[in-house]
Amino acid sequence: MLTYDQFIDETALTMMRRVLDAECFRRAITRDSLHGEELALLIMTAFRGGLTTENELTERVRSWRP
């Protein structure tokens, strides 16, 4: 499990960006909107909490309601 003091590599960041971009597109919002930033925080928190695959993160963000 990844903890806050561990480094997140470029591959993981790229995957998280892909999840964020797909969900922002699905919701018709931009990454720099309030909801886009909330989604980004949700993705990062979920990843650091142990959801480390694209499918797990996608499932998590799709269940989020602002």
Domain ranges of the chain: 10-62
Residue 3 has pLDDT above 60, yes or no: no
Name the pLDDT band for 60 (thresholds 50, 70, 90): very high
Nearest to 40 by CA among 25, 56, 61: 61
Angle in degrees, CA 21, 65, 59, rounded to 5: 55
Q: State the average pLDDT over residues 29-55.
A: 96
Mean pLDDT (the chain, rounded): 91
Q: Is the pTM of this model over 0.85?
A: yes
Give pLDDT, residue 21: 98
Residue 1 has pLDDT above 60, yes or no: no
Give pLDDT, residue 6: 65
